Amino acid sequence: MHAISRVTERIEQIQTRIAERTPDTEGRFGAVLDAELRAGSDGSFQPPRTLAAAIRLSTSAQVGARLGAGNPVLGISSYGSSGFRPLGATPAEVRAPGNYGPLTPPAELSSFGNGTIPSTALAPIGVGGHRLWSPAAQSFQQMTAAAQAAGVNIGVTDSYRSIEGQRAVAAEKGLYSQGGLAATPGTSNHGWGIALDLDLDSEAQAWMRANGPRFGFVEDVPREPWHWTFRPASLF
């Protein structure tokens, strides 16, 4: 995660340089950018072409076409007419909320138990102090990068939820089985670090329904359009 932070910082520095250059310098800009990218690689992450691909996410199509594709560092394999495609997870199968059935927790987390996962087994998602199981966290960051590039903001109100947190939510909102909005404590997908409650306006909700499954996230609970679970087809 530290390497990704360093890559992001480097991207921002280079984007500032991009903004300062006029269109008629594009030819010279290419050589300068290539040199800057090489200088920015110190062995702690992938070589320049992966950084160049990251810059593609937020620079012009003309510059993007020149920089190449593939970004193992940030987990983004390509960006084109079909949008971003994440590495390490297959797209989720799209079904109607309520038709997904029970979910088998990730094997590496099952020994801890729902809602009792140690912080060392979770990863930050880049929003506040929210954390998820690492593959879910990485895919979420890829997804929000894609959303931001499209001018869409995805907020987060809840992520991993401890057993104590599940009990508190159940007491406040009632059990789902009884008409409320909380899973029985100890059974919530939040307790496995694979579910998020998102803060979405109508545009963001539409974007998530169209694009979330490509990153493994699906709207799987009826009556809860804010609840999204990481359920890629071949990761569990």
177-200 pLDDT, tens digit per residue, is 899 999 999 999 999 999 999 999
Neighbour count for residue 219 (Cβ, 10 Å): 23
Torsion angle defined by CA atoms of residues 34, 39, 42 and 47, in that order, rounded to the nearest 10 degrees: 10
Give the C-alpha separation, 189 to 127, whole Å: 19
Q: Which CATH number fits domain 107-230: 1.10.510.10, 3.30.1380.10, 3.40.220.10, 3.20.20.70?
A: 3.30.1380.10
The number of helix segments (H) and strand segments (E) in the chain equals: 8, 8
The CA-atom distances, in angstroms, between 129 and each of 36, 94, 181, 200, 224 are: 33, 29, 23, 19, 23
107 CB burial (10 A radius; 0-12, 13-18, 19+): exposed
Confidence at residue 27, expressed as pLDDT on a 0 to 100 scale: 43
| Residue 233: per-residue pLDDT | 87
Range 103-123 average pLDDT: 93
Average pLDDT of the residues in 128-133 = 96
Report d(CA 43, CA 188) in Å as an integer: 41
pLDDT at 47 over 50: no
C-beta separation of 191 from 167 below 8 A: no
Cα(80)–Cα(100) distance, integer angstroms? 30
Residue 228, strand partner residues: 196
Confidence of residue 29 (pLDDT cuts 50, 70, 90): very low
Please report which confidence band the pLDDT of residue 58 belongs to, taking 50, 70 and 90 as the band edges: very low
Q: What is the mean pLDDT of residues 37-56?
A: 38
pLDDT in tens, 9-27: 666 666 555 555 444 333 4
Q: Which residue type does 197 have? A: D
Domain regions of the chain by residue span: 2-74, 107-230
Q: How high is the pLDDT of residue 170?
A: 93
The pLDDT of residue 236: 62
Q: Is the pLDDT of residue 83 over 70?
A: no
Distance from C-alpha of 208 to C-alpha of 217, rounded to nearest angstrom: 8
pTM of the model: 0.63
Q: Which residues are CB-contacts of 115 (< 8 A; sequence separation ≥ 6)?
A: 161, 162, 163, 164, 165, 166, 185, 186, 188, 191
Among candidates 182, 175, 191, which has minimal Cα distance to 229? Answer: 191
pLDDT score, position 62: 32
